[in-house]
Amino acid sequence: MSTVDDVKIIELPKFSDPRGNLSFVEQMNHIPFEIKRTYWIYDVPGGESRGGHAFKKNDEFIIALSGAFDVVVDDGNKKMRYTLNRSYYGLFVPSGLWRTIENFSTNSFALEFGSIHYTPLDYIRNYEEFIRFKNII
Ligand code: TYD
């Protein structure tokens, strides 16, 4: 079962260029899983929070393509907060962790990659249920 110690900040390649910088990600390289899904969160009012839930199977990789926000991860024993504010850093969040995204700056843009296709059955949206899930497995 994953713990917050399995969460990793991953520095991405960055080609600095006076014409504009370029970064990229590759599956099974910077992103340690095969990408089944890409989604993004945008037009978030400044200061807003989203995503208080856990995924049973879905691993995630999160990039702040623009602006800044905090990803808070919790394994039931320990909590960690990661501030993402550069587009050349990604955060790997394995399945089985409670996670929220907080303090979105105005005009921030969160890009997320997932390891499984969308299904509501993969979500745990109740924190007590999450704690039971962590204790069972
Ligand atoms: P959700 O993951 O619940 O967002 P948050 O946890 O930040 O509140 O997603 C919001 C809605 O978007 C949800 O009702 C289902 C839909 N959705 C999809 O259809 N496919 C997806 O890949 C994702 C991430 C969400």
Ligand 1 mean position, distance from CA 77 (Å): 26
Long-range contacts of 131-136 (CB under 8 A, 24+ apart): 131/76, 133/54, 133/56, 133/96, 134/1, 134/75, 134/76, 134/96, 135/76
Q: Is 26 helix (H, G, I), strand (E, B) or coil?
A: coil
In tens, the pLDDT along 11-49 reads: 999 999 999 999 999 999 999 999 999 999 999 999 999
In tens, the pLDDT along 90-126 reads: 999 999 999 999 999 999 999 999 999 999 999 999 9
Mutate to test the pocket of ligand 1, among 35, 36, 44, 50 (most ligand atoms within 8 A of CB): 50
Ligand 1 mean position, distance from CA 93 (Å): 17
| Percentage with pLDDT > 70 across the chain | 99
Ligand 1 atom with the smallest distance to the CA of 118 is: 22
Ligand 1 mean position, distance from CA 72 (Å): 18
pLDDT the model gives residue 137: 60
In tens, the pLDDT along 55-77 reads: 999 999 999 999 999 999 999 99
Would you place residue 5 in the very low, low, confident or very high pLDDT band (cuts 50, 70, 90)? very high
42 within ligand 1 shell (Cβ under 6 A): no
Q: In angstroms, rounded to a whole number, what is the distance separating the alpha carbons of residues 84 and 70?
A: 6
Ligand 1 mean position, distance from CA 80 (Å): 23
